[in-house]
Amino acid sequence: MKIKEYRIQFIQMLTSLYGEGEAESFFYLILEEKQKLKRIDLALQPDLVFLEEEIVVWNSILEQLKLEIPVQYLLGKTSFYGLDFEVNSNVLIPRPETEELVDWIISNNLKIEQSKNLKILDIGTGSGCIAISLAKNLPNAQVFALDVSEKALATAKKNADLNEVNVTFLHQSILDTEDLGQEFDIIVSNPPYVRNLEKEEIKKNVLDYEPHLALFVEDNDALIFYRKIAELAQKNLTNSGQLYFEINQYLGKEMVELLEKMNFKNIELRKDIYDNDRMMLGYLL
């Protein structure tokens, strides 16, 4: 079968679930990964064909996409901040909003990092996307990454090797930690922040396949991780140290109040590309 003919069928099969645009993007992601072909190759060579064994592979992927298994898990990889990352069911799939958080940290510290060896800690690192992206773009910084999940840390370590950066990984429960044992210039975290009451807003592909340990908090204490991390930051940030968070879009006001009560200064709440309250920064002065 010609690839261009299979493409039409593939998109038609998935349009009702994902929409035509996303179904088409899946096709080209898989085409590049499995066939090493880009969109332009198909345009220039419209008579390219799939072998029978290749169609078997594609049909298998198609059936899994119909179950709404994330395409990133099916391919075992994704891109984040211009870097490649391995992903699997033990880690969240990195989001564009988190890229914005990383970019904010880099923009604020690029000049500082050139004259000072910054120490950075990423709490709840998951795939390592934040820590590794910071290590890659702030090469003089000393970067640490912490997670409660050994399986997540194993993936993060692979990603550090893949991207040729040096990150110190720590297996630790932040909720059980009383002191980090050293000082950091920057602490950043994208902790679990989705309340159970918000589950109905979560897409099936996230709810059914991404790790709940990294997603959800109890409704009656939605800020548990933020409060604990801010307490540790009070003890373990250097003077003028920076605390960055990715946050629940509905709890921006509560997060500002939390950091104000804990004596953080110059607090800034930022919106993401979708115009939702999504990230914040506070200084320990």
The CATH class, in words, for 90-284 is: alpha beta
Q: Is the pLDDT of residue 57 over 90?
A: yes
Closest CA to 170 of 125, 236, 118: 125
Cα–Cα distance for residue pair 123/79, rounded to 1 Å:
21
- Percent of the chain at pLDDT above 70? 100
Q: Quickly state the pLDDT bin for 199 (edges 50, 70, 90).
A: confident
Segment 228-254 mean pLDDT: 97
* Mean predicted lDDT score pLDDT of the chain: 95
- Number of neighbours of residue 278 by Cβ within 10 angstroms: 23
User: pLDDT tens across 120-152, in order?
Assistant: 999 999 999 999 999 999 999 999 999 999 999
Domain locations in the chain?
Answer: 3-67, 90-284
Q: What is the pLDDT of residue 203?
A: 85
Closest CA to 285 of 265, 259, 267, 269: 265
Segment 21-27 mean pLDDT: 95
77-80 and 83-86 strand pairing: antiparallel
Q: What is the pLDDT of residue 97?
A: 95
Q: Quickly state the pLDDT bin for 82 (edges 50, 70, 90).
A: very high
Residue 217 structure tokens: 């908090």
Q: What is the pLDDT of residue 88?
A: 96
pTM metric for this prediction:
0.92
Q: What is the pLDDT of residue 39?
A: 94
